[in-house]
Structure 1
Amino acid sequence: MYVAVKGGERAIANAHAWLAEERRGDTDVADLSVTQIREQLKLAVDRVMAEGSLYDPDLAALAIKQSRGDLIEAIFLIRAYRTTLPRFGASEPVSTGEMACDRRISATFKDLPGGQVLGPTFDYTHRLLDFKLAADGEVPEAPSRDVAPGDVPHVTEFLNREGLIEEAPAEDTTPPDLTREPLEMPASRALRLQALTRADEGFTLGLAYSTQRGYGRNHAFVGELRIGMVPVEMEIPELGFAIEIGEITLTECETVNQFKGSKTEPPQFTRGYGLVFGQSERKSISMALVDRALRWEELGEDNVGAPAQDAEFVLYHADNIQATGFLEHIKLPHYVDFQSELELVRKLRREAGADQVPEAAE
């Protein structure tokens, strides 16, 4: 804390009051409610939930309001709150094949059972400012579409029928909980995926982009991108079976990647995978590309020295809360450290004679 700042605790209290005043803004403008943020800034809410590892739209919206729209600060607030919550148990693995899809597209197959569902997306907009939004006009009602959960097969199953794509790699052991145990290397794929789900979207996007530009030789197709609600079930010991306790929105991406084969494996496609809370298309696709790049050793490929292939580099730098904490701590007082550095530089300059003032030019 800035206890050395003139005024001490009083100065800090005043800084908090000033922050609250800036957060509120012009009092002649209506206060922004948590409900408005939850309903109208949904993509921001979804990102905070995903990287904060807590699925609660109301709390995520509150964190965005409290942080004045700073999403990393909001994620920090959510993670801090998460540590205070009791753990009652673990849910059963969700079945994304039963997803009630609001959006489902494939870049590999045009005709899908159930059809391609464009859903709410910016993909086909013109990226022009819509000044009608500034006029607070009524939004026209979208055509209704009934979305019912059911068996929605994944696109990769079509390739799997012919053996053209690897079987989904499975791990028998339960991965450690990254929210409770520190990350250790080497990390299993399940642990890497867990870390990538919580990773900063911008960092993951940059790594994914690098693989597309050649830093990792990772040419991929989006086999399928789907967004929708899935039921969450939890086994109740007293009942002896699992019951549905709620629903959550997920974004899932499976990429289809080239693979030349090996001495023991025929040429076939391989997979990259991304699964994120809420509607987080950019993040889920990025996650799938980075996941595939990190599998180079498992698949017997060459390591070309690309950043996205270095598990330690990726996983130890992907968490925006850790990065923010380490970066922003340099704002705090380092008077003693700096004074020792200052004395060292002065000593070196004296020994080198650099402390002599040059004579003025005539």
Structure 2
Amino acid sequence: MYVATKGGERAIEAAHQWLAEERRGDRDVPELSIAQIREQMSLAVNRVMAEGSLYDPDLAALAIKQARGDLIEAIFLIRAYRTTLPRFGASLPVETGEMAITRRVSATFKDVPGGQVLGPTFDYTHRLLDFKLAAEGTTPEAQRKSADETPAPHILDLLDRDGLMEPLETSEDTPSDLTREPLEMPADRPLRLQALARGDEGFVLSLAYSTQRGYGRTHAFVGELRIGTCAVEMEIPELGFAVEIGEVELSECETVNQFTGSKTEPAQFTRGYGLVFGQNERKSISMSLVDRALRWEELGEDNTGAPAQDAEFVLYHCDNIQATGFLEHIKLPHYVDFQSELELIRRLRREAGAEEREAAE
């Protein structure tokens, strides 16, 4: 039977105090500031913003500090805070073709209008520990130029002009908002993209990897990966025109995939798409691969049974906050449930024992 625990509130309060002490660590070591986390752990901040569905580097840095570096816990904090914010309206779709680019690469074309920009990347580092960082020395100034403000056309437009790329989908309908309405199946592509954009990076990465190993039809090339800042505009009814209300850093990836054609469509290239907050290129590439895998039905392809082609499996399991909540709830008190299971097992064993004795007699 269930037995109430005495002193529960005092125990919980003590656990909170202990957590705060552990979070602070050795007090002889200077405490991390929000600015330090924001500026020096920017990729972690970007992930928290992307999966938390809230673009605010300072709040994301605060969440990381409060969560002791547990990014999923930080994402949980950001999503919980987001639910308290009022909504004044909706912004216009961002124009990524007008992005102020800090990084832009293509694996399909060497020479592209506007050029390729390596930007800050780990791609060509040697993955050796840099012990100079442990010495806390000064970091040399990088030889770089500021973000290119010149609009750069999307590289896949080159294929589109020749009729070799599937045309972009256009719709005047306002897509459903996954942050305000529960996910419903079947999910259209805008809803799927929302779920993938805030899905767990590791889960989406694993699914994308599975498609490359043959579990899905996504032998893809990175048509373009671009990172930079885009203006966010909002229409003001009283003014009758849109005004810029801020900027966001985004990572956008378009992949090129083979398509042999169908009864209604000729052989052509199709695309996968990924767009996430911040410099988050691994997530945007993964997202574009999974997006393409989920499009098998609309393109008239066969379902090979690959996990990445199962929209219900992908979308219902990619959310790390839902997954964490369901996973971690099993460590909370389940005394009544377990007692009933225990009594059931004992009764079954008693009945089995009685039957054995009767058979022996």
In structure 2, what is the equivalent of residue 114 of structure 1?
114
In structure 1, what is the equivalent of residue 345 of structure 2?
345
- The residue identity in structure 2 corresponding to 1:68 is R
**Correspondence list, 1:287-302, <5 A:** 287-302=287-302
Counterparts of 2:272 and 2:282 in 1: how far apart (Å)? Answer: 14
For the 8 Å contact 1:104–1:117, the answer to whether it is kept is yes
SS at match of 1:195: helix
In structure 2, what is the equivalent of residue 166 of structure 1?
166
Give 1:14 deviation, angstroms.
0.3
For the 8 Å contact 1:5–1:11, the answer to whether it is kept is no
SS at match of 1:308: helix
Query: Structure 2 length as normaliser, TM-score?
Result: 0.96
How far does the alpha carbon of each residue in 1:162-199 deviate from its partner, in whole angstroms, 9 at most, with x for none? 10110112333211110110000000000000110010
For the 8 Å contact 2:64–2:74, the answer to whether it is kept is yes
Going from structure 1 to structure 2, the CA distance change for 1:235 and 1:354 (only over 3 Å counts) comes to: farther
How far does the alpha carbon of each residue in 1:244-290 deviate from its partner, in whole angstroms, 9 at most, with x for none? 11111000000000000112211100000000000001100000000
For the 8 Å contact 2:102–2:146, the answer to whether it is kept is no
Counterparts of 2:33 and 2:341 in 1: how far apart (Å)? Answer: 49
Counterparts of 2:196 and 2:146 in 1: how far apart (Å)? Answer: 33
Give 1:149 deviation, angstroms.
2.2
How far does the alpha carbon of each residue in 1:106-145 deviate from its partner, in whole angstroms, 9 at most, with x for none? 0000001121100000000011101000000111101131
Query: Structure 1 length as normaliser, TM-score?
Result: 0.96
Counterparts of 2:175 and 2:299 in 1: how far apart (Å)? Answer: 21
Counterparts of 1:284 and 1:220 in 2: how far apart (Å)? Answer: 14
Going from structure 1 to structure 2, the CA distance change for 1:71 and 1:5 (only over 3 Å counts) comes to: farther
For the 8 Å contact 1:168–1:271, the answer to whether it is kept is no
SS at match of 1:61: helix
For the 8 Å contact 1:349–1:355, the answer to whether it is kept is no
Give 1:148 deviation, angstroms.
3.6
In structure 2, what is the equivalent of residue 329 of structure 1?
329
SS at match of 1:59: helix
Counterparts of 1:127 and 1:66 in 2: how far apart (Å)? Answer: 29
Counterparts of 1:226 and 1:193 in 2: how far apart (Å)? Answer: 18
- The residue identity in structure 2 corresponding to 1:158 is L
Counterparts of 1:68 and 1:218 in 2: how far apart (Å)? Answer: 38
In structure 1, what is the equivalent of residue 312 of structure 2?
312
SS at match of 1:77: helix
For the 8 Å contact 2:201–2:283, the answer to whether it is kept is yes
In structure 1, what is the equivalent of residue 142 of structure 2?
142
SS at match of 1:258: strand
Consecutive aligned runs of 4 or more in structure 1 exceeding 3 Å deviation:
3-6
For the 8 Å contact 1:53–1:198, the answer to whether it is kept is yes
**Correspondence list, 1:1-362, <5 A:** 4-353=4-353
In structure 2, what is the equivalent of residue 360 of structure 1?
none
Unaligned runs of 5+ in 1: 357-362
In structure 1, what is the equivalent of residue 359 of structure 2?
none
SS at match of 1:111: coil
Give 1:348 deviation, angstroms.
0.6
